Amino acid sequence: MNDMRLFERAATVDEVKIRAKDVNVHYGIAHALKDVSVDIGDRLVTAFIGPSGCGKSTFLRCLNRMNDTIAAARVTGAIELDGQDIYDRRVDPVQLRAKVGMVFQKPNPFPKSIYENVAYGPRIHGLARTRAELDEIVEKALRRAALWNEAKDRLQSPGTGLSGGQQQRLCIARAIATEPEVLLMDEPASALDPIATAQIEELIDELRQTYSVVIVTHSMQQAARVSQRTAFFHLGHLVEYGETGDIFTNPRDPRTESYISGRIG
Amino acid sequence: MTDLPLNGAAGAIPDFPRPARSILETDARTRARNRAEARFRAYGLAALLVGLFFLVLLLGSILWNGMGAFMQTRMTLEVELLESELDPEGTRDPAVLAETSTFGYGDLIEAALVRTVAATGVQTGLEAGDLDDLLSSGTAARIRDAVIADPSLVGQTVTFDVLPSSRVDGYIKGRVTRESLANDKNLSPEHLDIVDALVAQGTLDRGFNLSFITGADASEKRPEEAGIGVAMIGSFYMMLVVLGLSLPIGVAASIYLEEFAPKNRFTDLIEVNIANLAAVPSIVYGILGLAVFIQFAGLPQSAPLVGGLVLTLLTLPTIIIATRASLRAVPPSIRDAALGVGASKMQAVFHHVLPLAVPGIMTGTIIGMAHALGETAPLLLIGMVGFVASNYPGGVLDGFTSPNSAMPAQIYEWAKRADPAFYERAWGGIIVLLVFLLVMNLMAVLVRRRFERRW
Ligand SMILES: Nc1ncnc2c1ncn2[C@@H]1O[C@H](COP(=O)(O)OP(=O)(O)OP(=O)(O)O)[C@@H](O)[C@H]1O
Ligand SMILES: [Mg+2]
């Protein structure tokens, strides 16, 4: 697309964590993502917004190579993490995913105990030497995901027995327990009540101190509340990307404008 | 905007007639629908009843015909083990005692029978030499074995539990009648007079036939001694081989195909072929086993090891199909979750996917094994025919290679033999086999219950 107008973001981004250039994704013959170029800053929250089916999740999955698991998906273009190409032949996607954690759109806890759900990542990455350390990691992760109070008395009961919103928070706890550098969150608050949502937003804000966070959301208010940068996707294009305040108060593209004012979606 | 206003009042769409109807009365459409449903239920119930009727008929006739094999007539016989006949030099050396063949015991048994009959007081027109038709032709061999095992018995009068012949057994069980003996060379009605007297005296009675379950096959002349025990051991060893090979191979192949292999023409071809293999007649596997394992690889004939190998080929497709289906049933989101926290593909499979697939794999394995347990045709081709099962294997490892048969082949062998007493054993063998299959299927159900899906 030639008429795609991007912010002159080079001036505003200080420290780039992830740099994507001309990313295209095809699912078989369907062209799901078209020439997306974006720089995601470190210690910032970046929000992806856009109507359903526009490619937000697809792009998110490119960032930790989860698309590798979809046989039909074909990714072209370049994505760099700290200046290193993540699609380089030498990159082991497993190692990459330990650095770039992910919370999925649908809560998907393991059918194991709450404790095991959170402890799994640290355990396979050898983050804890003793049981006490592991306990500590699990507790910290559950506290940050605002689930500790509800889960502390039932750590051994199955994670699948939690409510939908609790499951989503469990998945967040599981993702942050491995201490990733980038956290990709696909609609983490879609199943949460306002109180839990506020807690998660608080968590995201806190995570920003050390991580780079990318969040997909359908809630404009949420994007406005938690993010510093916002990217608007439409029909596989990245239509507009810039400071969140600018996007919401002064959108440059008419499509962005009509989306945030509720006319397309 | 040509659409009708969606949130307008109902009265805004007057063109759609809405018949006033009460929910208390059913209209014609609903009645027709309900009639169709009632008809369908009746069909279903009828089909079920027909099936049930045949099942009951089948089980009933199996039990009716087969229960007799679990009862056996026995007789007590006091035999005078004369030293002059068995051990003239008085050495009591088992090697010397073994020199007397079973014929050497014939006179002793005849004398014992004469005494027993005389004790009943029955007047009989039979010669002394005809009396041994009452007993199994294996009687002399049994007494000889007992004497060689315990030489101190020589010179004493010992009471033995001996087996009457299959005709006497049949008479006690009601299978043989005086009329049916009219054309029978093996036993005469006069013998039956003696049997009646022996029963009245308590010398001859019926008991549970443990040796049918534990014993070996016997020759055509001695149906009363035939048991399914050795064939059971053969089946057991084959199942060990089948389980030990087909489970690891099947599961490994399925995991590879389902989780790791690229989806291309080649794997499609493999997939189609596995499905086809499951439909290949079992006798084809039998002749393959004969050619490959026995003629080419030189493995022994009639060995449960070879039988197990052949049945492994037969079971593998079943296990692979079941395992792949249960792997596929694990939601992909579980794999994503594991990969998302940085697990490798193999960790995702072994830590999360496989545990969830275990119940399906176990059920498939048990059902595959149950199929293999009931398989007859391929065994006949590799020499595991029924009459081979006449000796216990020498040791635990020997069980894999010493010639043996399997339960279904033993049953087939008995069903082939002329003597109706063997026919009874065949039905009895089917009961034993069905008990095994029932237990295995029960296990499959329990496994499914125990590891019910948990997501
Ligand atoms: N596994 C897949 N195979 C084929 N097509 C896919 C696959 N996943 C997504 N798509 C297609 O790619 C396009 C983008 O999908 P994507 O899931 O990225 O949308 P999204 O922006 O996340 O939408 P939503 O807000 O509803 O989650 C859609 O048209 C979708 O149909
Ligand atoms: Mg999505």
Contacting residues for B315 by C-beta, under 8 A, at least 6 apart:
B242, B246, B250, B368, B369, B371, B372
Per-residue pLDDT tens over the stretch A52-100: 999 999 999 999 999 988 888 999 999 999 999 999 999 998 889 999 9
pTM (2 decimals)? 0.82
Instruction: Flag whether residue B452 sits within 8 Å of chain A, measured between CB atoms.
Output: no
Q: Which helix (H) or strand (E) holds B72?
A: strand B71-80
pLDDT at B39: 97
How far is B73 from B125, CA to CA, in rounded Å? 24
Nearest CB neighbour to B343, from listed A108, A124, A175: A124
Query: If pLDDT is split at 50, 70 and 90, which confidence band does B26 have?
Result: confident
The alpha carbon of A216 and the centre of ligand 2 are apart by a number of angstroms equal to 8
CB A74 near ligand 1, within 6 Å: no
Closest ligand 1 atom to A60 CA: 18
Q: Decide if A141 contacts A173 (C-beta within 8 A).
A: yes
A190 lines ligand 1 (CB under 6 A): no
**From the CA of A26, which ligand is nearest?**
1
pLDDT for residue B454: 56
**Selected residue of B259, B260, B336, B341 to mutate for chain A interface (largest A Cβ count, 10 A):** B341
By C-alpha distance, which of A255, A265, A239, A249 is closest to A7? A239
- Per-residue pLDDT band for A7 (boundaries 50, 70, 90) equals very low
Q: Atom of ligand 1 at shortest distance to CA of A48?
A: 21
d(CA B64, CA B74): 21
A56 lines ligand 1 (CB under 6 A): yes
Report domain A4-108+181-260's class: alpha beta
In A, what residues contact B, Cβ < 8 A? 64, 66, 69, 71, 94-95, 97-98, 101-104, 106, 108-111, 120-121, 124-125, 158, 160, 171, 174-175, 177-178
CATH 2.60.40.10 fits B229-451, yes or no: no
Q: Which ligand sits nearest to residue A233's alpha carbon?
A: 1
Q: Which atom of ligand 1 is nearest to the CA of A105?
A: 27
From chain B, the residues in CB contact with A110 under 8 A are 334, 337-338, 352
- What are the tens digits of pLDDT across the range A189-238? 887 888 888 888 988 998 888 889 999 999 888 999 999 999 999 999 99
DSSP string for B32-70: HHHHHHHHHHHHHHHHHHHHHHHHHHHHHHHHHHHGGGG
Pairing, β A212-216 against β A229-234: unpaired
Residue B265 sits at the chain A interface (C-beta within 8 Å)? no
Could you tell me if B268 lies within 8 Å of chain A, comparing CB atoms?
A: no
C-beta A55 within 6 A of ligand 1: yes
- CA torsion through residues B384, B388, B393, B394, sign: negative
User: For ligand 1, atom 18, which residue shows the shortest CA distance?
Assistant: A55
Phi-psi label, residue B202: left if phi above 0, alpha if psi -120 to 50, beta otherwise: left
Of all residues in chain B, the one with the smallest CA distance to A61 is: B340
Q: Check B454 against A111: CB less than 8 A apart.
A: yes
Residues near ligand 2 ion, CB 5 Å cutoff = A 57, 105
- Average pLDDT, integer, range B157-176: 87
The answer, yes or no, to whether any atom of ligand 1 lies below 6 A from the CB of A72, is yes
Q: How far is the CA of A107 from the centre of ligand 1 (A)?
A: 17
**Which residues from A are below 8 Å from B356, CB to CB?**
111
Helices (H), chain A: 56-63, 93-99, 114-124, 131-144, 148-151, 164-177, 194-207, 220-226, 244-249, 254-260
Phi, psi of A35 (to 5 degrees): 45, 55
The whole-number pLDDT of residue A1 equals 37
Q: For chain B, which residues make up each domain, given as ranges? A: 69-208, 229-451
**Any ligand 1 atom below 6 A from CB of A70:** yes
Residue in chain B closest to A173 (alpha carbons) equals B341
State the ipTM, two decimals: 0.87
Which pLDDT score, from 0 to 100, does residue A9 have? 37
The rounded Å distance from CA A105 to ligand 2 centre is: 6
Q: How confident is the model at residue B118 (pLDDT cuts 50, 70, 90)?
A: confident
Q: Which residues of B touch A103 (CB under 8 A)?
A: 340
pLDDT of A152 strictly over 80: yes
Min Cα separation B452/chain A (Å): 12
**Is residue B101 over pLDDT 50?**
yes
